[in-house]
Structure 1
Amino acid sequence: MIPRTLHVIWVGDESKRPDNCITTWRQHNPDWTVRVWGNDDLASYGWVNAAHMREMAKRELNGVADLMRWEILYHEGGFVVDADSICKRPLAPWLFEGEACASWENELIRPGLIAAGYVASIPENPFFGQMILDLQKEPTVVDRMAWQSVGPLYLTEQVRMQRYTGLTIWPSHFFIPRHFTGLEYTGGGPVFAGQEWGSTLGKYDELHKRKVA
């Protein structure tokens, strides 16, 4: 089973960590363990792709978080959520009945693209293990934007390349009801979280100061 552990990654300026957003996950899911990964973990965990993380840190910290995400999922299992996400309601157990889960980014704006911000897995899932090994073979990961080389596009390409059939893909409105382009879900289905697009829209300077719940 997918462990009931919520992982949140925040590296960089700790004074801007959106603890207000992270707290919403604790409030709505008291039966889950919430683990926040930070600069100390980045320095000491023993990452397979530590060299790529150091290189990526000079350009895009969100890319460092993506690189950490895949190794956390493989070694720890659980559910990794973006630091700039705001939980709206308790996580339903049926969401995590499979061996791995993720969300579409948006079926209308970016059809076929799997988001990297909400991914869950059992520990030692060979799919994520292969992702890590394939990244290790890459001479560099900063030849493209991070979302392409280590984030959602990389995840999507890996699902297709490995022909991975164990992934349950949630509709985007479960966790990303509003796309960064402004398109917003208006249906009556369940919305478990909202995405603030902190890196994409440059919100991290003020997000940690806002009242979010």
Structure 2
Amino acid sequence: MISKKLHFIWVGDESKRPNNCIDTWVRRHPGWDIRIWGNEDLASTEWINARHMRDMSSKELNGVADMMRWEILYNEGGIVLDADSLCTRPLPEWMLESEAFACWENELERPMLIAAGYVGSVPENPFFGQIILDIQAKATVTDDMAWKTVGPMALSEAYYKHKYSGLTIYPSHFFIPEHFSGARYEGPGPVFAQQEWGSTRRAYDELHLKTFE
């Protein structure tokens, strides 16, 4: 089973870290282990892809977080969540029963693309280990946008290339009921989170100042 650990990653300006968003997860998951990975962890941890992280840090910090995400999942297990997401209801026990899970970004707007912001795994999962190695083997990760080279597209391409059958992929509305394109889920199914799209909408200057229940 996936352990009851929630990981959040925030590198860069710590004064803008959206603790208000993270707190919505903390409040709804009493007894779970919560860890926020930050600048000190980035600097002090022996990351396999430290070279690429250094190169990416001056371009897209969200790409640095994506590379940290895969190594945290492999080393620690648990669930890594986007720091700019809001929890709307507690994660159910049955969601922990798979060896790994993720969700689609949006089945209509981005078909076949797996989101990188809501991913859970047992420790030492060989699939996430392979993603780390695939990124390591790249000559550069800054020749295109981070979501393509180390984020959702990299995750999706690895899934199809390596044919990893152990990944449970949930509907997008579980975690992303509203896509940045404006597409909204209107069905009766469960919604566990809401994505604020901080990087996409460049909203981090204001996001940490908002009040959420």
Q: For the residues of structure 1 that align with 2:74 and 2:142, how far apart are their CA atoms?
A: 23
Residue number in structure 2 paired with 1:125: 125
Deviations 1:3-62 (A, max 9, x none): 110000000000000000000001011121110000000001110000100000010000
Residue number in structure 2 paired with 1:110: 110
- SS at structure 1 position matched to 2:201: coil
**Would you say the 8 A contact 2:3–2:96 is kept in 1?**
no
- SS at structure 2 position matched to 1:2: coil
Residue number in structure 1 paired with 2:11: 11
Q: For the residues of structure 2 that align with 1:184 and 1:109, how far apart are their CA atoms?
A: 10
Superposition map of 1:189-204 within 5 A? 189-204=189-204
- SS at structure 2 position matched to 1:159: helix
Q: For the residues of structure 2 that align with 1:134 and 1:187, how far apart are their CA atoms?
A: 37
Q: TM-score, normalising length from structure 1?
A: 0.99
Deviations 1:142-161 (A, max 9, x none): 01100000000000000011
Matched, 1:98 2:112: no
Q: For the residues of structure 1 that align with 2:192 and 2:31, how far apart are their CA atoms?
A: 16
Amino acid at match of 2:4: R
Superposition map of 1:133-152 within 5 A? 133-152=133-152
Q: TM-score, normalising length from structure 2?
A: 0.99
Q: For the residues of structure 2 that align with 1:32 and 1:109, how far apart are their CA atoms?
A: 34
**CA-atom RMSD in angstroms:** 0.6
Q: For the residues of structure 2 that align with 1:111 and 1:97, how far apart are their CA atoms?
A: 26
Percent identity, aligned pairs only? 65
Matched, 1:172 2:189: no
Deviations 1:128-147 (A, max 9, x none): 11111111111100011000
* Structure 2 alignment gaps of length 5 or more: none
* Structure 1 alignment gaps of length 5 or more: none
Name the count of aligned residue pairs: 213
Amino acid at match of 1:110: R
Matched, 1:75 2:80: no
**Would you say the 8 A contact 2:8–2:81 is kept in 1?**
yes
Matched, 1:53 2:62: no
Amino acid at match of 2:115: A
- SS at structure 1 position matched to 2:102: strand
Residue number in structure 2 paired with 1:41: 41
